[in-house]
Chains A and B, each alone.
Chain A
Amino acid sequence: MGSFAGGGLPPDDVVVTALRAGDEAMFATLLDTWSGGMLRVARSYVSTDHSAEEVVQDTWLAVIGGIDGFEGRSSVKTWVYRILVNTAKKRGVRESRTLPWSAFEQDGVPVTEFGTGDGWKEAAAVWPSPEGEALASEVRRLIAEALGRLPPRQRIVITLRDVEGCTSDEVCEILEISAANQRVLLHRARTTVRGRLAGYFESVKQPE
């Protein structure tokens, strides 16, 4: 699980006090714990690795500049991720890669794997457990590809929830969407990714 589940951090008040006092070790810990996940989230909005790195860098610079004014109305990580998402959105719009948020309503069209021809029931076989390293890396590659093809809002929600391990409440707060909306986007995204994996496992199935 990604950054949010990466437990080991002290409570927020300790983190905030340390950052305000200029505790470099604490800042380094946050950087190393969260930046990987932040890169993945940034990639949902911008087109290149370089842009994603800049978004994460600009986010941390804003955190450094803003920590004295942090009011603790949300958790530190939610605050950081909100800055990240806002930074990434602006950057994405500038790159014209992402559409304005309001244009994403087309995500609401129920496109599921049911429409792709192979009914889910026929494909509902038992999957091999991805024990082998080769299988695991192939599954990761497929997932990365599937995420890249999702409509933007679905991609950001499934990345925050399932890849980074945010709770439903955290995602709603970061993206300022309702719980119901969040769930619909997440379910569509998961359904698509499951369909992609099912197709793969079907294609590599050993003849019985």
Chain B
Amino acid sequence: MKAVNVVKRFTCDELVELITAYLDDALDQPEREGVQVHLAACAGCGRHFEQFRATIDALGDPLPEKLPTDVRDRLMSAFRERHRP
């Protein structure tokens, strides 16, 4: 028996648990195709998937953070001290 062309079938509850593995490309081929087939056919999971991706995008856009100037100055001096000839 060849494993090629086998597509795994998932319920909606199973599918939503696989999204991270799917996005990380950690599924085998029948699973990956099963996810794709389900997402193409199921509007609810399709939207859920898009929201999941939108969440990941939003997480990657945080407010910028900076080290306070006094801490940065202290670290620059420490670096300089260490390498003083």
Q: Which residues of B17-62 are within 8 A (CB) of A?
A: 17, 19-21, 24, 26, 44-45, 47-48, 50-52, 54-56, 58-62
Given A22-B82, A64-B79, decide whether A127 and B54 contact each other with a Cβ distance below 8 A.
yes
Taking the closest CB of chain A, its distance from the CB of B23, in whole angstroms, is: 9
Number of interface residues of B (CB under 8 A): 40
A57 and B59: CB pair below 8 A? no
Chain A residue contacts of B63, Cβ below 8 A: 140
Complex Cα spacing A96 to B67, Å: 24
B66 and A35: CB pair below 8 A? yes
For the A-B complex, the count of residue pairs with Cβ-Cβ distances under 8 Å equals 116
B55 and A190: CB pair below 8 A? yes
Given A22-B83, A183-B26, decide whether A198 and B51 contact each other with a Cβ distance below 8 A.
yes
Chain B residue contacts of A194, Cβ below 8 A: 51-52, 55
Stretch at the interface among A23-31, A80-88, A101-109: A23-31
Chain A residue contacts of B58, Cβ below 8 A: 130, 139-140, 143, 197
Given A126-B47, A163-B59, decide whether A27 and B76 contact each other with a Cβ distance below 8 A.
yes
Chain A residue contacts of B44, Cβ below 8 A: 121, 124
B75 and A31: CB pair below 8 A? yes
Chain A residue contacts of B82, Cβ below 8 A: 22, 64-65
Taking the closest CB of chain A, its distance from the CB of B70, in whole angstroms, is: 9
Complex Cα spacing A121 to B12, Å: 9
Complex Cα spacing A197 to B54, Å: 10
Complex Cα spacing A136 to B59, Å: 11
The 8 Å CB contact of A143, one of B47, B62, B65, is B62
Taking the closest CB of chain B, its distance from the CB of A132, in whole angstroms, is: 14
Bin the interface of chain A by size.
Answer: 35 or more
A140 and B61: CB pair below 8 A? yes
Complex Cα spacing A53 to B69, Å: 11
Q: Is B16 an interface residue (CB 8 A)?
A: yes
A53 and B60: CB pair below 8 A? no
Complex Cα spacing A179 to B54, Å: 23
Complex Cα spacing A121 to B24, Å: 23
Q: Is B72 an interface residue (CB 8 A)?
A: yes
Q: Which residues of A19-42 are within 8 A (CB) of B?
A: 21-22, 24, 27-28, 31, 35-37, 39-40
Residues of A within 8 A of B (CB): 1-2, 5, 21-22, 24, 27-28, 31, 35-37, 39-40, 53, 56-57, 60-61, 64-65, 114, 120-121, 124-127, 130, 136, 139-140, 143-144, 158, 162-163, 165, 168, 179, 183, 186-187, 190-191, 193-194, 197-198
Given A35-B65, A120-B48, A190-B20, 4 additional A-B pairs, CB 8 A: A24-B76, A65-B82, A126-B50, A162-B59
